[in-house]
Amino acid sequence: MTGDTLSSPTSVEEVNGKSHSKTSGNGHLLVLGFGSQAHVVNSFKVGMYLAERGVTITYVSRQKYINQLKQSYSPEKLKALGIRTVGLADGYEGTHIFDRATRFEQVFQPYLEELIADRKAGLAIPTAILADRFLQFAKDVAQKLEIKRYVFFSASVSEPMMYMAVQELHRKGTVRKLENGEFVGLENVPNVPGCDWMRQQDLPWVLWADTKAMLDISHTMTDADGLVLNYFDDLGPRCLETLGNSLSAQSGTTGKAPKLFTIGPLSNAATSVNVACNGGELKKTEMQCFDWLDQQPTSSVLYVCFGSIFRPDAPQLYELALGLEASNQRFLLVLPATERQGLRKDGAVTLEDELPENFASRVSDRGLIVYGWVPQIQMLAHTSVGGFMSHCGWSSCLESFGSGVPMIAWPMAADQNPNCRYVVNELKVGIELTGKKGDMVFASFSMRVTGKKYDTFVEKDEIARAVEVLMEGEEGKATRARAQALRVKLGAALAVGGSSYRHLQELADHINE
């Protein structure tokens, strides 16, 4: 079998050896890498860590992500680890997560047919599959191949908790489907035991927009062999207990609940992977950032970054810049090196065009603006960085925890609202920028359901106050102290004998059984 893409049952990319060979006596895990770049990297790390513990790995993802991973890992390294890669020919760039999951299922089918044929021929095939929670078809794959199945959550444990809460409320009739196909009663999720730290305004709008899909995911969870969580035990024992109890209660006639494997955080300074970047540009941007940070006092810089998908719109980005300027604090603002269409009559504009006139020169004595990707873990670990303004994506939250850097939480969509609530009110390692809640992805849906448009615009004065509080205020000092304490707990979880270290070995043993 040769080739770089999966366009037919025999065109899969191979790294080494026979695609379905495995070490005698060891398990062979088929990992399906799906989602955004951060999610794909995290699923690859799961495979890498398990490979180091004797599990043979076949890693399947879109060809573009396979190519990016190969920039960081040589064929020799992958061969030494026992990792094989399969690239799927998929150029689809849709934004809706469930549409992308359907597309992934379609392009995966030829490879599945190949696995089925190999099994019928008596050849060795994977003994287990690990797939992102959105890839519900993995349940069908596991049944056809008669192998174990694990559901992977790169997000916080609050997400599977919410799914199970919706399932419980649906079973009791509190959440019900109307004749028009919409579901009602979802505002009761915070009333479910263990979810009381959330408020209705913290719930993601995807619960309303895709309720049936959430219910379907919850059912694929209850009969899985295990849930693999990007989380660590000391981050919230009560949440883990709630999730475990919900799974046990809903395990059905088998009475066998899936095991929970908390192996996070997968993103940390010791194991960071620089993927998906042009090597030369990465080095140039990275050097620019570090050269500037090296000249700043300890814990004096606010690092501002909103991930690879979400960002403020043009008016809000302009206001953010004014707020940072008015705070008189040092800052490092990282923006994507992309363009937005339709903002000017003469065509696309860069994000630099959306900033106030001469902004870079106006703040040059205390601020740096860079465009493109930067190694965020290394940025947060720099001694000059004392705060992090973030959209509260879960990977960013974990990276902040691991560096002991407190956050200014500014959620924008999806699971970021409950993440913000947990960071600010439960862990108390961040401050909330604004009480305004919205969702960039489901804004039109929320307006249709509620009949109102959410005002999410944050004024420059509010931004400046939050920056000043975190970087100089007494509340900021207390928040920073708690963030440092959480960093110690996280380090202990990852250390030899720590909870995440042990659970990772338990997962490897479970696969190898």
484: domain CATH number is: 3.40.50.2000
Q: Supply the pLDDT for residue 397.
A: 96
Would you state the pLDDT for residue 277?
41
pLDDT of residue 353: 80
pLDDT of residue 344: 42
Q: What is the pLDDT of residue 453?
A: 72
pLDDT score of 280: 44
Do 38 and 138 sit in the same domain of this protein?
yes
**Are β-strands 148-153 and 83-88 bridged in parallel, bridged antiparallel, or unpaired?**
unpaired
Domain identity same for 257 and 354:
no
Residue 1, in any domain of the structure: no
Distance CA 393, CA 419 (A): 7
Q: Is residue 309 part of a domain?
A: yes
CA distance 318 to 252: 53
The reported pLDDT for the residue numbered 68 is 84
Q: Does some domain include residue 501? A: yes
* H-state helical runs in 121-157: 138-145
pLDDT on residue 181: 84
Based on the domain organization, do 460 and 322 belong to the same domain? yes
Query: What's the pLDDT at 325?
Result: 97
pLDDT of residue 4: 36
Strand boundaries in 379-510, DSSP class E: 385-390, 407-409, 430-432
C-alpha closest to that of 507 among 108, 118, 41, 55: 55
The answer to whether residues 41 and 91 belong to one domain is yes
Instruction: Name, in order, each residue with C-beta under 8 angstroms of 386's C-beta and a sequence gap of 6 or more.
Output: 298, 299, 300, 301, 302, 405, 406, 471, 480
Q: Do both 467 and 507 map to the same domain?
A: no
Longest Cα pair distance anywhere in the chain, in angstroms?
A: 70
For the whole model, what pTM was predicted? 0.89
Residue 352's pLDDT is: 72
- Domain of residue 127: give its range: 28-156+216-269+494-512
Q: Do residues 265 and 391 both lie within one domain?
A: no
**297 and 307, same domain (yes or no):** yes
Residue type, 118: D
18 domain residue, yes or no: no
- Same structural domain, 341 and 405: yes
CB contact at 8 A, 55 and 129: no
Same domain, 228 and 259: yes
Instruction: Please tell me whether residues 246 and 284 are part of one structural domain.
Output: no
Domain count, the chain: 2
Which pLDDT does position 349 carry in this prediction? 56
Q: What is the mean pLDDT of each run of 10 residues along the chain (513 residues)?
A: 32 39 69 85 93 94 88 84 88 76 93 96 96 96 97 94 94 92 91 91 87 93 96 92 90 77 82 45 77 96 87 90 97 79 47 86 94 89 97 94 96 90 96 82 66 81 97 96 97 95 97 92
**Do 133 and 50 fall into the same domain?**
yes
Q: How many CB atoms lie within 10 A of CB 170?
A: 20
pLDDT at 22: 38
Look at residue 75 in the predicted model and tell me its pLDDT. 84
Q: Would you say residue 166 lies in a domain?
A: no
Looking at residue 17, what is its pLDDT? 36
Indicate if 361 and 467 belong to the same structural domain.
yes
List CB contacts of 24: < 8 A, sequence separation 6 or more.
none
Dig out the tokens for 170 from the structure. 């649906």
Q: Establish if 203 belongs to a structural domain.
A: no
Decide if 507 is inside a domain.
Answer: yes
Burial class of residue 439, CB neighbours in 10 A (0-12, 13-18, 19+): buried
Tokens 């699971």 — which residue?
A: 415
- Tell me how far CA of residue 376 lies from CA of 62, 63, 143, 197, 278, in angstroms: 24, 24, 40, 29, 16
Instruction: For residue 169, tell me if it sits in a domain.
Output: no
